[in-house]
Each structure stands twice: as structure tokens, then as C-alpha cells.
Amino acid sequence: MTNENQGALSHIKVLDLSRVLAGPWCTQMLADLGADVIKVERPVVGDDTRHWGPPFLQDADGNNTEQASYYAACNRNKRSITIDMARPEGQALIRKLALQSDILVENFKVGGLVQYGLDYATLKQLNPRLIYCSITGFGQDGPYAERAGYDLMIQAMTGLMSITGQAEAPPTRVGVAVVDVFTGVYATSAILAALEVRHRTGLGQSIDMALLDVGMAVLANQSAGFLNTGQVPLRQGNSHPSLVPYQDFETLDGAMLLAIGNDGQFARFCAVAGHAEWAQDARFATNTARVRNRRELVEHMQAVTRTRSTAQWITALEDKAVPCGPINTLDQAFADAQVQHRGLKVTQSVSPAAQAQTGVAAIASVASPLRLGSNPPVQRNAPPMLGEHTCEVLAELGLDAAQIKGLQAAQVV
């Protein structure tokens, strides 16, 4: 492939055997940074998320297509090929690709690729430089190793749901599959560390990523509090266990979010609110005191915040360096001036062949937040249609047109 992108990883080839979210999120991050990511999908069916709709992508007339938008969230800048890895010929093709790859990412069940000769031990013999990242629900060992793991299950098992939601409501999942996303981010970090080791040793290595491990890790201050005090944290809605005031407040026309993190910010808020005396009150003067007297302070503040609109509060507090903002819906978030200035919505045109097949002319997604000064991410191509690059990639492996046609006729690709 001719690659004009000078992304930080433009010299790296990635073989992506993953599907759904955690693995594809990792490989999309690598692709955004310039890596050539070849995504292997099942013939006809493809990645499960191609069918996870509604919502579906829309054609030029605004009609729904059969392409779910979920897939578009984590597969841009990749090349899609179809290979039936249950067939010996398919396994041979994947081994050829692995021989030319720097990184392989997969999220099959533990031991699931051994039967195909595509496990780390086998591929390491072919390519000792290969960095092989496995993503599973519970890791490569332990009593749960053979269980399938899903984000919702991990949110429940790790206690994340127990601390999410209103105090009087049942445990609630986070509105995005955050454990999957965080696992993709952690996996990317591990892969980049392994690349650095390979610079020194010349050897790749295996990486064992587990959703359970990540789900426990991202509990952050909540787990630290429990581990060091034995106190089990509880759900408390949008408020913070260690900071006050740090939550939503009703306003004249809706609600706003205050995220006051120190005593200086609190004092400036009090002055704007017309109650400078609160900052001198022993009950509220320090954050520790405010946490102890949370209920009383919040009641005082709510009575005041309801007297102005959200926009008025934001205007009044903005130049006082008091963190305050609206509680947006997604349409409001993408219409925000700073979001637009940062170019966080990107739209990529699909290839003519993809447009002819799907009716979709362009696909929108959120820009990579990795803003490298010298080697920023480059949007090379939209999320591909199923098998869009099969012939191209097989030709790069050295197969001629007749061989490719034979594999297609045999339904190997």
C-alpha cells in the first residue's frame, strides 16, 4: 500500500483479528496514529457490530441503510479483508499476514486460536518480532479465564455499577461501554511499551489484557478509598465523595454543573452568588468542612442557583475561574463553540465502490484526541465496507489475480 501519511506509526503494520469494541478501539487508535491496520472479518457476516442497529447509517436521501453506525465508531483508517479462518487456506493466509506484521490484536476466548495455528506460541516461531495482544474478559489464567466477558457484566462485577446512579435508585451502568473503551486505551499503551522494548531487544512479546483488570483499575479514587479505609462507597448521583460543591445544581431554566475543586474557587463563587460570608463560615470554609456539611451547603446553594439561568451563571463565573458549564445533550455538545473549534467532528467520504454498494456517501465520527505536534493523526479513509480491501491486500501478499479469484470461488475470502 502506498502510504503518504507521516503519522507517528506510519511504519507499523497491524493485523486486527478483533471485533466489537475493545480490540477495534485499540486498533483504531493505532490506525489514527498512522499504522497500516488490516482488519480480518468473517465472510458475509463481518464484525458483529456491522449489524448492531438501530441506529443505522443513512444514504444520500436520509434513508436508513443496512449498515449499523456502531461499526463506524471504532474502525476508521483500517483496511477490511474477509478470510474464513476455519479453513486451512484461510489460516495460511493469516499466517502470511502475521509474518509481515509488527502487531497482532485478537479478542477470541482463551485458547480459541490454538486450533487454527494462530496462537502466540505458533506465530512467535514464524515472527519473533511480533507483538501479540490478546484481549479477553478475565485474562489468560485464573478460575474465570474461559468465561466470556462483556462490558455490562464487568461493570456489574467490578462494583462500577454500584457507585453509578442516584442514591435512591438501583445500580446503573455507565451510558457508554467504558470498560471496553478503557481496555482499548490500556491495550494501546501496552503495545506502544512493547514496541519500545522491541527497539532494544529485537523481540516481540505477548500482552494479556483483561476487561476485569481494567474495570478494577479505572475505579481510581473509589477503589483507593476502599482499600485504605475499608469503607464501601455508595451511589450518590452526580455529587463527588471527596469534593463539595462538585455536582449539578438547578437553575432558573434547567441545570448547570459546578466543579469546584479548591477553597479559592469556592470563595469566588460565593462572591458572585452574593454570599461571600459562606467562604468565612467554619462549616464551609474548607473542602473537608464542606464535605462534612454537604447537605446544608447544597441546600443554601440550590436556593441561590435557581434565581439565574444557566447561561447567566456561566457568564458570571467564567471569568472568575470557577468551573461551571451546561449539562448538554449530544446535539448541544457537538454544537458547542469549543467542540467545533477543536474540529471534534470529522466526516470522511467513502470510496466510490463502497458508496455504490451501500448508498452511504460519507461517515462521521469523533476526531482522535491525540494531538501530537509533529505527527498528528491523519484521517486517511472512512470505516471500510466488508471486504473492501481483500483483493488489494492479497495482491500485496504476492497472490495473482487467478489465485485471488480461486479463493473467492472457494469462499475462503
Phi, psi of 126 (to 5 degrees): -80, -40
Helix, strand, coil content of the chain in percent (nearest 5): 40, 15, 45
Contact status, residue 267 vs residue 287, Cβ threshold 8 Å = no
In the numeric block, which cell numbers belong to residue 350? 467513502
Contact status, residue 238 vs residue 247, Cβ threshold 8 Å = yes
Residue carrying C-alpha cell 455529587:
239
Our answer to whether residue 59 is catalytic in this structure is no
Q: Cα–Cα distance between 399 and 391 in angstroms, integer?
A: 9
Contact status, residue 381 vs residue 363, Cβ threshold 8 Å = no
Contact status, residue 155 vs residue 137, Cβ threshold 8 Å = no
Pinpoint the alpha helices (H) of 324-368.
330-335, 337-341, 352-358
DSSP letter for 357, please.
H
Residue 61: strand pairing partners: none
Q: Cα–Cα distance between 41 and 50 in angstroms, integer?
A: 11
Contact status, residue 48 vs residue 341, Cβ threshold 8 Å = no
**Catalytic one of 32, 151, 180, 213:** 180
Q: Which residues are catalytic?
A: 180
